[in-house]
Amino acid sequence: MKNTKASKIENIVGYIFLSPWLFGLIFFGLGPLLFSIFLAFAEWDLIVPPKFIGLGNFINLLQDDMFWKSFRNTLIFSFSVPIGTFLSLLLAYLMNRPKGIFSFLRSIYFLPSITPAVANTVVWVWLLHPTVGVVNFLLKKLFLINGPNWLGDPNWIIPSLIIISVWGGLGYDIVLFTAGLQAIDPQIYEAAEIDGANKWDVFFKITLPLISPTTFFVIVTSFIWSFQVFDISYIATNGRPDEHSLTIVYYLFQNAFQYFKIGKASAISWVLTAVILLVTYIEFKLEKKYVFYGEGE
């Protein structure tokens, strides 16, 4: 009887300690999530009560040229994922040494990853300035090339944002790939060397398959982040010129906090969620074919 009473008291104490987290989950997580589902089918400007309009918001998106432009820009920006993955793997492979300057270089490359995206973007805005920027200065001095107006020319805005994005995430991905490379048993390389395998065979037939789980993780998380990009576009260009740097999340932000079309913004958020889920589903389908987890799995 005493044990039962003590167990009930322990359960109550446990729920008391969990209550702040449960409160936060319900009121700041599940609550807004469910409310946004309702708002996606409603019209609301934060002043008058929400008005249910069915699929009106989604039909409006299908006819909204600006939404499709932001979607196209986001898709183009997602090319930062293969570029960043390739560069981070290459640098991690070249710097996969236990001591010396390579450890220092890994630390240097990791610095942008712990620097706020706002600070990284502001620095790059100055570096890419068409007249006083270091990038155009070096292009002129070293290659006799007149650099473009990186953040002002519609043809160069998304490539500029890709450069900023790749630079900001490079260090984090390098750390992940370095961990994956150092987890490979050296005896595997020794056996391949004894069998006469050259460096290309070792890299493509041993290293790449063994770090495929790390590569898969980097690609999945990077794609999810690329579809949610907002900060670097907002800071670097503020959606100008002519909305060429407008991304889906930036367009969501405009509808919610500039135009006060909360229902339309909620619809955009759920369309974005569906796109991310679809892309992630496709990636996990491809995982079974291209990701190697070792024997017995």
The pTM is what?
0.86
Q: In this predicted structure, what is the pLDDT of residue 111?
A: 78
State residue 239's pLDDT score: 62
**Mean pLDDT across the chain, nearest whole number?**
87
Single-letter amino acid code for the residue at 211 = I
In this predicted model, what pLDDT tens digit does every residue of 139-163 receive, in sequence order?
A: 998 888 888 999 888 889 999 999 9
Distance separating alpha carbons of residues 271 and 284, to the nearest angstrom: 20
What are the C-alpha distances in Å from 28 to residues 14, 45, 274? 21, 21, 21
Q: What is the pLDDT of residue 51?
A: 92
Which pLDDT belongs to residue 241? 56
The model's pLDDT over 16-62, given as tens digits with 9 standing for 90+, comes to 888 888 888 888 888 888 999 999 999 998 889 999 999 999 999 99
Domains of the chain: 2-56 (no CATH), 59-290 (1.10.3720.10)
Here the contacts of 217-222 (C-beta below 8 Å, separation 24 or greater) are 217/176, 218/85, 218/88, 218/173, 218/176, 218/177, 219/81, 219/82, 219/85, 219/283, 220/280, 220/283, 220/284, 222/80, 222/81, 222/84, 222/85, 222/169, 222/173
Q: With bands split at pLDDT 50, 70 and 90, how would you rate the model's confidence at 73?
A: very high
pLDDT class of 282 with cuts at 50, 70, 90: very high
Q: What percent of the chain clears pLDDT 90, i.e. is strictly above it?
A: 48
Give the model's pLDDT for residue 220. 94
E-only strand ranges, the chain: 42-43, 51-52
Instruction: Using alpha carbons, select from 33, 271, 204, 233 the residue that is nearest to residue 125.
Output: 233
Taking 70 as the threshold, does the pLDDT of residue 296 lie above it? no
Q: Categorize the per-residue pLDDT at 240 as very low, low, confident or very high, splitting at 50, 70 and 90.
A: low
Task: Kindly calculate the radius of gyration of the chain based on its CA atoms and give it in whole angstroms.
Answer: 25
pLDDT tens for 81-116 read: 999 999 999 988 888 876 666 667 777 777 777 888
Question: Where does the pLDDT of residue 297 fall: very low under 50, low under 70, confident under 90, or very high at 90 and above?
Answer: very low
Higher pLDDT, 89 or 196: 89
Q: How confident is the model over 263-280, as a mean pLDDT? A: 95
Q: What is the dihedral of CA 206, 207, 209, 215, to 10 degrees?
A: 180
pLDDT tens for 122-136 read 999 999 998 889 999
